[in-house]
Amino acid sequence: MVPHVSDHHVVVVSNRGPLAFTVDDAGALIARRGAGGLVSSLGPAVAATDATWIACALSDADRRAAAGGAIDADGFRVRTLDVAPDLYRQYYDVVSNATLWFLNHGLFDLPRRPRIDRRWMEAWDAYRKVNVALADFVIDEADTGATVLVHDYHLSLIGARLAKERPDLRSVYFHHTPFCDPTTLRVLPEDVRVELLEGLAGNRACGFHSPRWAANFEACCDEVLGRVPKTYVAPAAPDADDLRAVASGLECDAALESLDAAVGDRLVIARVDRIEPSKNIVRGFLAYEDLLRDHPQWRERVVFVAYIYPSRQSMPEYQAYDAEVRAVVDRINAQYSAPGWTPILLDTRDDFPRSLAALRRYDVLLVNPVRDGLNLVAKEGPLVNERDGVVLLSPEAGVWDELSDAAIAVNPFDVGGTAAALDLALNLDPVERHDRWASLREAAERRSPQDWFDDQLAAGRD
């Protein structure tokens, strides 16, 4: 049994863990922080405890690390589950991302997707099997009466199994994405809808970044199960201290120096994202193209800095979107480039200090998702920005609930409207820019990763 600091044992379980392993030239295992919003928002608070974090092995190096049992590194105690590659593909690609992620972000091209056929039902069985394996891992690891924090849409079925096999555990679920409304959920067969929602309702409570997603979940449960489980709303928060430490570090300074050399004294529109269809990256570039066409005064005076890195490349939908993004960038740069000026500065390397350099430098930050559970970048930007930068934000992002007083709204589907908002933001007077920036920063500082973690623990106690 693991000794623990808090008054009882805490086990965290998620698909992606806090550590990603690689092998160096000498063949030694190297641990570095895992990617994505879940890890960056949950990591800081968990590292402060001696919770056990259970996750899936995502690479051969992860699998090698898994073979050695529990790993203590970077302040984390991690146990990774080795899942057979084809079982993982069905659970992760087919069900988690191509179905549940697309369902909850409203991304389906309904005449074609989803296609619930024999192949999909086999993948659903694989999803069930991985959820059972992770639940059994938790059952083996958790002390009596432990709190289990179950994170995200990959693990929808764990709560019901824990409730059945270990009723002493307090399992609290958190959903990182939007939750769809009952009409949208009906694309799934009824027995799958029931199993999915029963799995989630098996937890003591289900948490969401926004009241909108909680309300949708409750409406789905009411329609499908005839009951409404306990929910709570607790938006995640960036770790302001960690962000500022990295932003003031040598790597970020060097990245900012080379960015300044590239853009000079021009105004910067920036975005920092995974290359992800729901982030609406293509429409963001089309709006910039409209700006350059209809407001020629911005040509050679603005640069669009896009630090966006590939994600979920095992999926055809993401490969196609990646290609579409690059094609639009190439077309716009070919059409508008002039000596000494490239309209879009695209960098697809996943480099956190470099991303923070763009957040320090932007005059306008574009965050225009078609839908987003929260969007941490919209809070991270104002925390490190040094230019009184403005945030253009889609109200379809969960973070809109916290930033709507100071961000400028953009309808994610309205390319012309987004171009007009870019023009307005670039023209904003200095006093209003500063007031908006100060208000965004204050909102972003209101909550910490510890507050978010404490909200989850509290939801399991009440």
List contacts with ligand G6P (CB under 6 A). Answer: 16, 35-38, 152, 176-177, 311-312
Q: Considering beta carbons, is residue 175 or 441 the nearer one to ligand G6P?
A: 175
Partners of 71 in the beta sheet? 78
**Beta carbons within 10 angstroms of residue 331's beta carbon:** 13
Residue nearer to ligand G6P on the CB measure, 234 or 415: 234
Q: For 74-137, list the strands marked E by DSSP.
A: 76-81
CB atoms within 10 A of CB 430: 8
| Nearest distance from C-beta of residue 36 to ligand G6P, angstroms | 3
**Cα distance between residue 268 and residue 275, in whole Å:** 20
Q: What is the dihedral of CA 445, 346, 297, 378, to 10 degrees?
A: -20
448 CB-near residues (< 8 Å, 6+ apart): 45, 237, 239, 240
Q: Are 159 and 84 in contact (CB under 8 A)?
A: no
**Minimum CB–partner distance for residue 253 and ligand G6P (Å):** 27
Q: State yes or no: cis peptide before 114, omega within 30 of 0.
A: yes
Q: Which amino acid is at 422?
A: L
Q: To the nearest whole angstrom, how small is the minimum distance from the Cβ of residue 16 to ligand G6P?
A: 4
Cβ nearer to ligand G6P, comparing 171 with 278? 278
Give residue number: closest CB to ligand G6P. 36
CB of 376 to ligand G6P, least distance (A): 8
Distance CA(214)–CA(285), nearest Å, equals: 32
Residue 91 near residue 156 (C-beta atoms within 8 A)? no
Q: Using only C-alpha atoms, what is the Rg of the chain?
A: 22
State how far Cα 155 lies from the chain centre: 16
Nearer to ligand G6P, 37 or 202 (CB): 37
Smallest separation (angstroms) from ligand G6P to the CB of 235: 13
User: What's the rounded Cα separation, in Å, for the pair 67 and 61?
Assistant: 10
> Which burial class, exposed, middle or buried, applies to 7 when counting CB atoms under 10 A from its CB (0-12, 13-18, 19+)?
exposed
Q: Which is nearer to ligand G6P, 273 or 388 (CB)?
A: 273
Q: Evaluate the CA torsion angle 152, 154, 155, 156 in order and state its sign.
A: positive
* Least distance in angstroms from the C-beta of 175 to ligand G6P: 9
**Which residue number, 237 or 421, has a Cβ lying nearer to ligand G6P?**
237
**Residue 152 C-beta: closest distance to ligand G6P, Å:** 4
Return the number of the residue (9 or 176) whose C-beta is nearest ligand G6P: 176
At closest approach, how far in Å is the CB of 98 from ligand G6P?
Answer: 11
Distance of closest approach, residue 213 Cβ to ligand G6P, in angstroms: 12
The secondary structure of residue 391, as a DSSP letter, is E
Nearer to ligand G6P, 389 or 398 (CB): 398
- Indicate the residue among 212 and 361 with the shorter CB distance to ligand G6P: 212
